[in-house]
Structure 1
Amino acid sequence: MATTTYHSRSNSFPSQSHPAIENVEDHLCRFRAHSESTSVCANLASLRNLHEGIDDLIQMPSVQQTLSQGNWINELLEGSLKLVDLCALSREIVSLTKESVQDLESSIRRNKAETATSSDVSAYVASRKKITKMVSKSIKNLKSFDHKSTTDNNLWTMMKEVESHDLSVLKSVLILLSGENEKSSKTSWSLLSKFSTQNSRVYSENGAEDLSSLNIQKSTKNMDSKSMLKQLKSSEMTIQEIEEGLEALFRSLIKTRVSLLNVLSH
């Protein structure tokens, strides 16, 4: 991962060091250092903290003046809208995933059988196929997402790096929700890597979460219901944590977008 630093101030920053700038720099340094070995849920929480720092930064008059120059603010608003939409879609997918898991759990408990019925498994598999298609389509749509920095201005580079981290973590969430991991999803990982840059890595590769147990096959015979319930419950707990993390990130993305819109209106 790139190790961009911002110690050399440009005219877009105050002449004196400012706590808001140092706060964002500190969050970015920690994110670069630990994101690849940290779970998706932890990275979602880190992004929330990072956006809080960005919002404080945007409130600075000198930063607002810089963002108002040229077409910067419009480009950042375009990127923020795509991120909000992607996060909203990720929330929808995680909600569908949670619902499918809970439905299968309820069916197994209701039947009180030692094995899951074929109809229960078939309904679950059909739901998983729908979710997988949604994930695949979402990843393909990311081709048009431009998160590269086109200038060496420190403020612009910082803002685009935050955007890049948002995109990468949301990508990793989508892959995780598909029930795949780095060993079983070579095609998906290859697809993701095509749209990644040195600054944009997929963080679930070394994360602690693993939802591969979601991929229950329709052809499975005599599957032990107790074992299945245990796996589903474990997955449900992870899904719940991801859902909470996405909700917090969504609110942060909205807040950042509102701050950018306020700069544009002034």
Structure 2
Amino acid sequence: MCDGLRKLGDIYNCIEELICTPGNQVSLCQKLQRKLVEEELGRSLVLLDLCNTMQESFIELRMSVRELTLAIKRGEDASVQVKAYIRLTKKAHKQFKKVSKKTTSDKIDCRVVKLLAEAREITISLLESVRYMYIARLRLKSTSCLLSKRIATPKRSLVSKKSKVMCEEEQLQELELTFKDLESGVELLFRRLIQSRVSLLNTLSS
């Protein structure tokens, strides 16, 4: 998914180069094409909102995972942190569904705008796939279950307890790194979207 986000950023970079060619700039400013460009500019706001929502969600989720890791290291009951994490995943899920509603477009003849529309649909599809990363909360539910079992069986050997805690910490650190990578990928995509949007606006105002 991270690789897909980076490749999408490269696609938008290529589209921006097409936008900036003299021939396409003249074509995009023609009356019919201009209308299509303006409509696509409006739809691009949906992508920016989606990326912004995803970035904020990943930041919150990383912080939540970090707090959970610290609780496990201290040997505390981490059920509160687990519940907080699950609430964040549900919140992010609802935000994504709310923002991604209006994304359809009519038949497009302009080559550059058609490329933008296709890239937009791919972007929404990929971001929706990224959303399924939130299913990782199931792993944290399992962690919660393991914690409760450890607390309920005080006779378990110290070595066994330490090994289990280390395993849980490694899983959480891996999850935190995954969120960080996805956050970086979405941030890169966001910047590329802004750049292509600015190029289109500059073309229309030239």
Which residue of structure 2 lines up, in the alignment, with residue 233 of structure 1?
Answer: 173
Q: How does 1:67-106 map to 2 (within 5 A)?
A: 67-68=28-29, 69-70=31-32, 71-106=35-70
User: 1:179 deviation in Å?
Assistant: 2.2
**Greater shift in the superposed pair: 217-226 or 244-253:** 217-226
- Residue-pair matches, total: 189
Residue in structure 2 matched with residue 8 of structure 1 by the alignment: none
Which residue is 1:179 aligned to? 135
How does 1:194-213 map onto structure 2 within 5 Å? 212-213=138-139
Partner of 2:91: 133
Map residues 103-252 of structure 1 onto 2, 5 A cutoff. Answer: 103-109=67-73, 111=74, 113=75, 117-118=76-77, 120-146=78-104, 148-176=105-133, 178-179=134-135, 212-216=138-142, 221-223=148-150, 224-252=164-192
How many angstroms does 1:219 deviate by? 5.8
Rounded Cα–Cα distance in structure 2 between residues aligned with 1:91 and 1:83: 12
Aligned AA (1:166): T
Q: Secondary structure at the match of 1:144?
A: coil
SS in structure 2 of the partner of residue 168 of structure 1: helix
Q: Which residue in 1 is equivalent to 2:160?
A: none
Unaligned ranges ≥5, structure 1: 1-39, 181-210
**Which residue identity does 1:129 align to in structure 2?**
R
Which of 64, 67, 77 is matched with 2:25 structurally? 64
Q: Percent identity?
A: 28
Normalised to the residue count of structure 1, the TM-score between the two structures is 0.64
Which structure's residues are more often helix, by fraction? 2
TM-score (normalised: structure 2): 0.81
Distance of aligned partners of 1:122 and 1:93 in 2 relative to their CA distance in 1, 3 Å threshold: same
* Structure 1 counterpart SS, 2:100: helix
For residue 195 of structure 1, what is the aligned residue in structure 2? Answer: none
Partner SS, residue 237 of structure 1: helix
Separation in structure 2 between the aligned mates of residue 141 and residue 53 of structure 1, nearest angstrom = 26
* Cα displacement (A) at 1:256: 1.0
| Unpaired segments ≥5 residues, structure 2 | 151-163
Question: Larger C-alpha radius of gyration, 1 or 2?
Answer: 2
3-state SS in 2 of match to 1:145: coil
- Cα separation, 1, equivalents of 2:187 and 2:108: 32
Residue 55 of structure 1: how far off its partner (Å): 1.0
The Cα shift of 1:212 comes to 4.8
User: 2:15 touches 2:115 (CA, 8 Å); kept in 1?
Assistant: no
4+ runs deviating over 6 angstroms: none
Q: For 1:189-231, what per-residue CA distance to the aligned partner results, in whole angstroms no more than 9, with x for missing partners?
A: xxxxxxxxxxxxxxxxxxxxxx752445756622542221121
Q: Distance in 1 between matches of 2:112 and 2:200?
A: 14
SS at match of 1:222: helix
Read off the aligned partner of 2:139 and give its amino acid letter: S
**Partners of 1:51 and 1:252 within 8 A in 2:** yes
Distance in 1 of aligned mates of 2:49 and 2:125? 14
Give the direction of change, closer, same or farther, for the CA distance of 1:137–1:260 in structure 2 (3 Å limit).
Answer: same
- Which residue of 1 is the match for residue 157 of structure 2? none
- Alignment RMSD (CA, Å): 2.1
Q: How far has the Cα of 1:261 moved from its partner?
A: 1.2
Distance 1:140 1:107, change over 3 A: same
